[in-house]
Each structure stands twice: as structure tokens, then as C-alpha cells.
Amino acid sequence: MPTSALTALAAYMLINSFTPGPGNILTLTTITTYGWKKGKTLFFGIVCGYYCVQVICAAAIFGLSHYLSPMLTVLKYFGGGYLLWLSVHIARSRPDERSEAKEPSFWTGFLLQFVNVKIYFYGMTCLTGYIVPYYDSFAALLGTEMIIATVGSLASLSWAWFGMKIQKIYKKYYKPINIILAVFLIYCAWTMVF
């Protein structure tokens, strides 16, 4: 792979991983609301789901792409609906609801990634645009997807860290922060479906 393609791939991965998306926003809001101790289970669910989805993408590009394409069309509508539902709950949440609200869970984070169409498109675009022109082995595809999932997990971890740092500010200004995050999720849903 030429250096120019590798540089473009690295830039593509960093931009896609660190920009707001469903996993990053859910990580941020969960950690600002519950703190790391209670929110880490959701974070680990997001990470595990990320790796599973990227394995699916590698397998799809390797030989199942004609089966996965119709499924992605259906998933984008489920994902968009889920993001809208999530945005309403984020916009309406309050920091003092922690005791009455359901604790964040591993499965919530894990299952989010299966309707997070952004990471499907991210993984498949990365493979078809940057890897397939140079390599055709399943090991190369899977290895690339594991790198994508690792970079994405580090991005979510940075959003979690940011959530811990703004926890005091969040408690004071939670309404505008929640509305901004909800708008980001609505934008994610819009770009996913249209």
C-alpha cells in the first residue's frame, strides 16, 4: 500500500472515529450522568459491539456483500428510529434522575452498535476504498477492521474521559448540553436515513 493511501486511511479513521456518533454521544451522556464507575458497563458494551460489527463488515466484504446490502437498508431505518428515541430521552434527562432511572448496562451499549449504521458504513467504506485495492485476504480485511474497532474504542474512551471532566459543569448546565447532544443524535439519524 502506498504511503499516500496509508496516510489517507489514517486520516479517514481518525475523523470517523472521533466525530460525534451514536456510540460516542451515548458514552458521553452516560458518563456525565452516572460517572465512570456506573457507566463503564455501557462503555464496555459499546466496545464489544464495535468489534462484533467490524467482524461482520470484514466477512461481508470478503464474500457476503450481496446478502448484507438489503440488511443495511432495513437497519438504517431501525437505527434512525432508535437514535430519535434516544435523543428524546437524552434531551429530557436530568442529572438527579440517576437514582430512579435504569442503570446503564452492557447490553444497551452492545446492542446500540448493531443498529449504529455509521460504523457499518465506516468499516465497509474503509475496506472497499483503501484495503481491497491492495489486499484480498480475509486476514487483511479482518486485521483492518480490528484496527478500526480499536481506534473507535479509543475515541469512545476519550468521550468518556471528557464526560468525567465536565460532570460538574453538566450538573449546572444539563439542559442546554442535553439539547445539543440530542440535536447531534437527530443529525446522525437524519444522515443515516437520508
Determine contact, residues 104/34, Cβ cutoff 8 Å. Answer: yes
Q: Provide the pLDDT for residue 95.
A: 66
Q: Provide the pLDDT for residue 11.
A: 80
Determine contact, residues 51/146, Cβ cutoff 8 Å. Answer: yes
- pLDDT tens for 19-73 read 778 888 889 888 888 889 988 999 999 999 999 999 988 888 887 655 556 666 6
Transcribe 83-134 into DSSP letters.
HHHHHHHHHH--GGGTTTSPPP-HHHHHHHHHH-HHHHHHHHHHIIIIITTT
Q: Where are the domains of the chain?
A: 22-94+105-193
Q: Provide the pLDDT for residue 100.
A: 52
Neighbouring residues of 90: CB distance < 8 A, sequence distance ≥ 6 = 25, 29, 178, 181, 182, 185
Residue found by looking up cell 451514536 in the block: 22
Q: Provide the pLDDT for residue 150.
A: 95
Rounded Cα distance, 6 and 164, in Å: 33
Taking the model in full, what pTM does it have? 0.73
Cell numbers standing for residue 188: 446522525
Task: Give every residue of the chain whose pLDDT is below 50, as ranges.
Answer: 99
Q: Provide the pLDDT for residue 155.
A: 92
Determine contact, residues 75/115, Cβ cutoff 8 Å. Answer: yes
* Residue 177 CB neighbour total at 10 angstroms: 19
Q: Provide the pLDDT for residue 71.
A: 65
Look at residues 21, 116, 46, 36 and name the one whose alpha carbon lies nearest to residue 76: 116
Q: Provide the pLDDT for residue 175.
A: 86
Neighbouring residues of 72: CB distance < 8 A, sequence distance ≥ 6 = 117, 120, 121
Residue 148 Ramachandran class (φ > 0 left, ψ -120 to 50 alpha, else beta): alpha
